[in-house]
Structure 1
Amino acid sequence: WITAAYTQAVTSSTTNNSSNSGNTSSNTSTNNNTSTAKEQAISKNLQTTTSINVRSDASTTASVVSSLSSNATVKAVAQKQGTTVSGTATWYKLSSGGWVTAAYVKEVSSSSNTGNSSSNTNVSTSVNGAAIVAEARKYIGTPYQWGGKGPDVFDCSGFTRYVFLQVTGKNIGDWTVPQESAGTIIPVSQAQAGDLLFWGEKGNTYHVAIATSNSSYIHAPSTGYTVTEAKSGFGTASFALRVK
């Protein structure tokens, strides 16, 4: 019990408002303490200004999945904020997978990807296209390993080289740039099963795959992945090649 001499009656709304005000303040403080980097979809053609690493996430501590040489042309499909490098925290997600810092790339016009716009209507069909695709599909699930030439592990160019060697007996080249000379360059829009797809500027390509149709391809993507068949990213290839 307490004496009424030192208390006064108040309405219940006063107590509730005070309590609610405290709750609101608490909630606002909590919300202000949460900050999550959001991935934003984009479509940009980029060119590296120096040799850089491609990482598994937007951080300089994320694992390196591949690398790009200077002046390589790539396609960015998303961006988000990550580790600050040379004053910028922006990172770009590449169509071929992985992230690069915006510090060492510049945006270029789509005309840089000349393989998509050039025309070549008098090109014969791919050498044993169906056989190439059938052979390539045998290795779906095979682990990626940088420098892997098969058949137990592959990198992207090691995979394409091995498949063509098995079917045609021809060595089309040990890595992407020599493989650019294994046939006739055609627009990506004309690619058929058995053709090669390249990403990057001619003479400086960084990824290669085998078309399994006019909208899908099979490739050895990057570290941590296995040989897989995909459709996403087909249209972002820089140019195609019909092997002679």
Structure 2
Amino acid sequence: MPIFWMTSLSRLILLGLSLWLVGCGSRPDTPATPETAVSDAVQDSFTIERLLWLYADWEGVPYRLGGMSKKGIDCSGFTLLVYRDLVAKSLPRTVEEQLEHGAPVATGHQRPGDLIFFKTGWSTRHVGVSLGDHRFVHASTSQGVMISSLNNSYWKQKFWQIRRYG
């Protein structure tokens, strides 16, 4: 059966099976220092697969300033719930407060789970969660929760900084 005829549930089951098979791989053990142990544990929780599962649950939820539910969510509320649900870590509620925490990351060195910040206006800011490979998931004011590319001309022009929370 062609994949475009599959129901959402069938696609979700197929995605789950695919991710289960991918999850059988392993990476070499590297010794962790006390300084990196917590950061590595947080980063390990931000696999692309886990972020995509969370995204699938929130995809298309409309943007609503101050929102924190499936009826509507804003960008910093979305990043807050990503950290809460995937790594049980508490982030501040607003973009401005989220900017005050975390360590700066050089452009092009972002990893899944890093926060990507944008200056979208003279005094307005936007934030999303890196999926790696120049993609990020965020609550867009025009299209709700979605995945975008940093290579998109709009986001490339508005890009500001990346921060990693460990």
Please give the range of the TM-score, normalised by the shorter of the 2 chains. Answer: 0.5 to 0.7
Shift of 1:214: 2.5
The runs of 5 or more residues in structure 1 that have no matched partner are 1-122
Query: 1 or 2, which has the higher strand percentage?
Result: 1
Look up the match of 1:136: 55
Number of equivalences: 119
The reply to whether residue 193 of structure 1 matches residue 106 of structure 2 is: no
Length-normalised TM-score, structure 1: 0.44
Alignment identity in percent? 23
Closer, same or farther: CA 137–167 of 1 in aligned 2, 3 Å: same
Look up the match of 1:225: 143
Cα distance in 2 between the residues matched to 1:151 and 1:181: 27
Q: Which secondary structure state, in structure 1, belongs to the residue aligned with residue 140 of structure 2?
A: coil
Question: Can you list the C-alpha shifts for 1:31-70, whole angstroms capped at 9, x where unaligned?
Answer: xxxxxxxxxxxxxxxxxxxxxxxxxxxxxxxxxxxxxxxx
Look up the match of 1:159: 78
The reply to whether residue 207 of structure 1 matches residue 126 of structure 2 is: yes
Look up the match of 2:27: none
Cα distance in 2 between the residues matched to 1:234 and 1:193: 18
**Contact 1:193 / 1:210 at 8 angstroms: preserved in 2?**
yes
Cα distance in 1 between the residues matched to 2:163 and 2:124: 13
The reply to whether residue 178 of structure 1 matches residue 97 of structure 2 is: yes
Q: Which secondary structure state, in structure 1, belongs to the residue aligned with residue 108 of structure 2?
A: helix
Q: Which secondary structure state, in structure 2, belongs to the residue aligned with residue 138 of structure 1?
A: helix
**Contact 1:190 / 1:214 at 8 angstroms: preserved in 2?**
no
The runs of 5 or more residues in structure 2 that have no matched partner are 1-35
Misfit runs of 4+, over 6 Å: none
Closer, same or farther: CA 144–230 of 1 in aligned 2, 3 Å: same
Cα distance in 2 between the residues matched to 1:133 and 1:243: 19
Cα distance in 2 between the residues matched to 1:210 and 1:150: 18
Look up the match of 2:69: 150
Look up the match of 2:135: 216
Closer, same or farther: CA 164–152 of 1 in aligned 2, 3 Å: farther
User: Which structure: larger Rg?
Assistant: 1
Question: Aligned AA for 1:129?
Answer: F
**Contact 1:133 / 1:193 at 8 angstroms: preserved in 2?**
no
Higher relative contact order (CA 8 A, sep 6+): 2
**Contact 1:150 / 1:159 at 8 angstroms: preserved in 2?**
no
Closer, same or farther: CA 189–235 of 1 in aligned 2, 3 Å: farther
Length-normalised TM-score, structure 2: 0.62
Structure-to-structure mapping, 1:22-61, within 5 angstroms: none
